[in-house]
């Protein structure tokens, strides 16, 4: 791993990404009195309770009304507030996308939309709650910044960055504990991608919870003599052209990895970028045009092909098919 990324030497701890958001929001509340928050009846689930307890006069309980959640947010932003509005990603932005489009994106108000419990890590709740389309939905909106932090430590930094960003933002969070891979010293800036591990044979380009899996996959590949580069993309939009193109140019083989629909998600974004600038052999690992189902996260990740082993297999097959790479 590259030292300047200040990653953990070895993964020993895990924590839900949403917890980092809760801490970050509390800090953002202390930093700026214009930061306010609203939630649709999921205050503790989305970790907004820390803020709500510290700043009750700046917290609004909306009730189970996600259309209202984001439009009230647009009104707060219109008066100079920096509103964070949270619910589960299945409803926010799943249910209220048109309101987001008109009153936040087109209206260009700096509302901070938080979609928690995204992806397969939502587990037993099943397909209705496993939001897999949020990145595609939000990435299609002009003016919108789309974030998917890789762990709880990065989520706290992303939250603080959002509070300072003047644009509409969406951030995806996960429910279950996932490995902590970065440290307080790891860099984070909206719009930047980071090379978490250097390699020359293939690029594993990942986002959110899947970056930890991609790092693990790179270790499996190393045992087989394949040097995989791991590029972490916590900002899906605007996507970091330079870092992704440089990596693809170096390795000439790209596997994208995400815990969501590959159509329109990170896989779509990278395919668009490479297709127009540097056509590169690639494979997209993620949900391929299907819904999830109930189960433990590890069962689901295995069933849908999102484990480090699956990622490594995808890398091998791409190298076999397209480069005659022998190992």
Partner 1 sequence: MAKNQKTYSISDLQKKANAIRMDIIKMLEKAGSGHSAGPLGLADIFTALYFRILKHDPENPDWEERDILVLSNGHCVPVRYAAMANAGYFSRKELMTLRQFGSRLQGHPERQRLPGLETTSGPLGSGLSQAVGMALALRMDKQQHRWVYVVMGDGEQDEGNIWEAAMLAGKYKLNNIIAITDRNNIQIDGPTETVMPLENLKDKWEAFGWHVLEIDGNDIEAVIDACQMAKAIVERPVMIIAHTIPGKGIDFMEYDFHWHGAAPNHEQAVKALKELRTLGGKIRSEHE
Instruction: Tell me how crowded residue 115 is: count the other CB atoms within 10 A of its CB.
Output: 26
Residues 220/267, Cβ–Cβ less than 8 Å: no
> What six digits make up the tokens of 253?
């083989």
Residue 61 beta carbon to partner 1: minimum distance, rounded to whole angstroms: 8
Residue span binding partner 1 (CB under 8 A) among the ranges 68-76, 118-126, 181-189, 193-201: 68-76
Phi, psi for residue 154 in degrees, rounded to 5: -70, -30
Which positions from 11 to 50 touch partner 1 by CB under 8 A, shown as an x/- string? -------------------------x--------------
Instruction: Quote the least distance from Cβ 40 to partner 1, whole Å.
Output: 10
* 210-246 burial: b if 16+ Cβ within 10 Å, else e: bbbbbbbbbebbeeeebebbbbbbbbbbebbeebbeb
Question: Least distance in Å: CB of 71 to partner 1?
Answer: 4
Give yes or no for residue 58 binding partner 1 (CB under 8 A): yes
Selected catalytic residue, list 15, 53, 61, 66: 66
Instruction: Give the separation between CA 234 and CA 98, rounded to whole angstroms.
Output: 25
Under the criterion CB under 8 A, does residue 263 sit at the interface with partner 1?
no
Q: Which of 233, 178, 210, 199 is nearest to 310 (CA)?
A: 210
Whether 184 is catalytic: no
Which helix (H) or strand (E) segment holds residue 266: the answer is: helix 266-277
Per CB under 8 A, 83 contacts partner 1: yes
By CB under 8 A, name the one of 43, 47, 71, 261 that touches partner 1.
71
Scanning 104-112, 216-224, 229-237, 300-308 for contacts with partner 1 by CB under 8 A, the matching segment is: 104-112
Residues 78 and 60: their CA atoms lie apart, in Å, by: 16
Provide the token pair at 138. Answer: 């939000």
- Within 13 Å of residue 148, how many CA atoms lie on the same side as its CB? 31
Distance separating alpha carbons of residues 81 and 73, to the nearest angstrom: 9
Q: Which of 22, 24, 73, 260 binds partner 1 (CB under 8 A)?
A: 73
Interatomic CA distance for residues 218 and 267, integer angstroms: 18
10 Å Cβ neighbour count for 179?
A: 19
Least separation, in Å, of the C-beta of 62 and partner 1?
6
Q: Which is nearer to partner 1, 24 or 73 (CB)?
A: 73
- Residue 128 host element (H or E): none
Region of 99-107, 146-154, 167-175, 302-310 interacting with partner 1 (CB under 8 A):
99-107
Residue from 14, 108, 227, 294 in contact with partner 1 (CB under 8 A): 108
- 264 lies in the binding site for partner 1 (CB under 8 A): no
C-alpha 246, offset from chain centre: 21
Please report whether residue 242 would count as binding partner 1 according to CB under 8 A.
Answer: no
**Site residues, partner 1 (CB under 8 A):** 36, 57-58, 60, 62-63, 65, 67-68, 71-81, 83, 98-99, 102-103, 106-108
Which residues are marked as active site? 66
């Amino acid at each position: 791993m590259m030292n300047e990324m200040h990653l953990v030497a070895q993964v020993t701890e895990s924590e839900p990404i949403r917890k980092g958001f809760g801490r970050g929001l509390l800090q953002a509340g202390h930093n700026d009195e214009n930061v306010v928050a609203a939630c649709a009846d999921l205050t503790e689930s989305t970790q907004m309770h820390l803020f709500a307890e510290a700043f009750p006069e700046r917290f609004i309980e909306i009730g189970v009304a996600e259309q209202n959640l984001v439009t009230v947010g647009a009104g707060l932003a219109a008066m100079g507030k920096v509103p964070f509005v949270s619910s589960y990603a299945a409803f926010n932005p799943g249910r209220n996308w048109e309101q987001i489009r008109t009153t936040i994106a087109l209206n260009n108000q700096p509302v901070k939309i938080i979609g928690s419990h995204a992806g397969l890590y939502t587990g037993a709740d099943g397909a209705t709650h496993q939001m897999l389309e949020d990145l595609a939905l939000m990435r299609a909106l002009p003016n919108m910044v789309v974030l998917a932090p890789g762990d709880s430590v990065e989520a706290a930094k992303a939250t603080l960055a959002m509070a300072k960003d003047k644009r509409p933002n969406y951030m995806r969070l996960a429910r279950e504990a996932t490995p902590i891979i970065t440290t307080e010293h790891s860099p984070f800036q909206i719009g930047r991608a980071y090379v978490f591990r250097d390699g020359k044979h293939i690029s594993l380009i990942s986002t959110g919870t899947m970056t930890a899996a991609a790092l693990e996959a790179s270790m499996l590949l190393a045992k087989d003599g394949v040097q995989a580069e791991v590029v972490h993309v916590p900002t899906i939009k605007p996507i970091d052209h330079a870092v992704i193109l440089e990596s693809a140019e170096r390795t000439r083989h790209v596997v994208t990895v995400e815990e969501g629909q590959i159509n329109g998600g990170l896989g779509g974004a990278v395919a668009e970028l490479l297709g127009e600038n540097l056509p590169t052999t690639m494979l997209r690992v993620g949900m391929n045009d299907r819904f999830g189902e109930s189960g433990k996260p590890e069962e689901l990740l295995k069933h849908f092909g999102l484990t480090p082993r699956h990622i490594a297999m995808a890398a091998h097959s791409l190298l076999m098919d397209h480069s005659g790479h022998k190992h």
